[in-house]
Structure 1
Amino acid sequence: MQLSDLTSKTSVQRWLQVGIPAAVGVLVVVLAWLAGPGLFGIAGTDSGAPVQAEVTKPAECSAGNPVESVTFSLGGKPREGTLNGCGHAKGERVEVGVPVDAPAEGPLTVSAADTSAGAQDSRGPIALVLLVFACFAGGTYAFLFIKGPGKLALLH
């Protein structure tokens, strides 16, 4: 028995066995890239302009949906706002994000400013690289599954 008898598949069939999983993997990566960072649950949220605020009424973290009261200066005027957070002491200085379209009067709802301001968020590229590796691993598994067990043991 010769090796050519054991490998009777044509080169077109072999390219299809490798090409189809590879093409599907590339398609998944391209679609994930086009879907954007929201696909990975890391869509960037604009927390607004960072402003130093002072906590006037802290909230306990054991309470459901804790909200703290803060005061800050916006446009040279003292403003009051609510911060969805907990664990700060009264009089503590925190950095909050004030919405860009904040009204000129009344209390505002502010959010905690990004703690890594100015840093590049690397979660998106890392998630995309992991997706590429997952596609590669899946394609390799599909290739090995279609190829079946090795038949070189039949050769004498």
Structure 2
Amino acid sequence: MKLPDVTSKTSVQRWLQVGIPAAAGVLVVVLAWLAGPGLFGIAGADAGAPVQAQVTKPAECSAADPVESVKFTLGGKPREGTLNGCGHAMNERVEVGVPVDAADSGTISVTAADTSAGSQGARGPIALVLLVFACFSGGMYAFLVIRGSGKLALLH
């Protein structure tokens, strides 16, 4: 009795074995690209308008939860704010992010302008490259499993 030859496949079958995983990988990458940076959890919160501020009361870095006082001009009016940070000198100029919805009066809680969440510009492209690599690896694994199944059937 002659066993059927499971290793001979038509060119259409071979293209389908490679094409379907490749198309699925391309679809995943395109959908991730369209979803944007929010998919990778790196969408930055709006730090507000960057403003030059002057430190009026520095904080020591050895203190628990150091907060510095700063003064700046917002809308032509002098304002005061608190900056969660430490290590600045008295009267040192720092760039801070003032929230868009800041109150018209009182002390405003500001953040350092260049340390807001999502300011790491390389995270998005690196995440997309890793996603492409994962799709490619998964497609190649599927191809090898499908290709290898014919050879395993001959061994049994």
Structure 1 length normalisation: TM-score? 0.75
For 1:38 and 1:71, locate their aligned partners in 2 and report how far apart those are by CA, in whole Å: 34
* Higher deviation after alignment, 61-70 or 21-30: 61-70
For 1:38 and 1:53, locate their aligned partners in 2 and report how far apart those are by CA, in whole Å: 31
Task: Give the corresponding residue for 1:21.
Answer: 21
Q: What is the aligned-residue RMSD (CA, Å)?
A: 2.8
For 1:17 and 1:132, locate their aligned partners in 2 and report how far apart those are by CA, in whole Å: 19
TM-superposed CA distance for 1:94, in Å, is: 0.5
SS at match of 2:105: coil
Once the two structures are aligned, what percentage of the paired residues are identical? Answer: 82
SS at match of 1:39: helix
SS at match of 2:114: coil
1:51-88: per-residue Cα shift (whole Å, max 9, x none)?
11112223344445433221111122221111122222
For 1:97 and 1:74, locate their aligned partners in 2 and report how far apart those are by CA, in whole Å: 11
Give the unaligned 5+ runs of structure 1: 152-156
Task: Give the corresponding residue for 2:154.
Answer: none
TM-superposed CA distance for 1:27, in Å, is: 2.4
Task: Give the corresponding residue for 2:71.
Answer: 71
1:81-121: per-residue Cα shift (whole Å, max 9, x none)?
11122222232211001122322211111111137xxx993
Indicate whether 1:90 and 2:90 are aligned. yes
Native 8 Å contact 2:97 2:111 kept in 1: yes
Write the letter of the residue equivalent to 1:140: M
Write the letter of the residue equivalent to 2:90: K
Structure 2 length normalisation: TM-score? 0.75
Task: Give the corresponding residue for 1:148.
Answer: 148
Task: Give the corresponding residue for 1:127.
Answer: 127
* 1:39-118 equivalent positions in 2, closer than 5 A: 39-114=39-114
SS at match of 1:16: helix
Query: Residues 65 and 32 from structure 1, CA distance in 2 versus in 1: closer, same or farther, beyond 3 angstroms?
Result: farther
Moved over 4 A (4+): none
Give the unaligned 5+ runs of structure 2: 152-156
Indicate whether 1:35 and 2:62 are aligned. no
SS at match of 2:23: helix
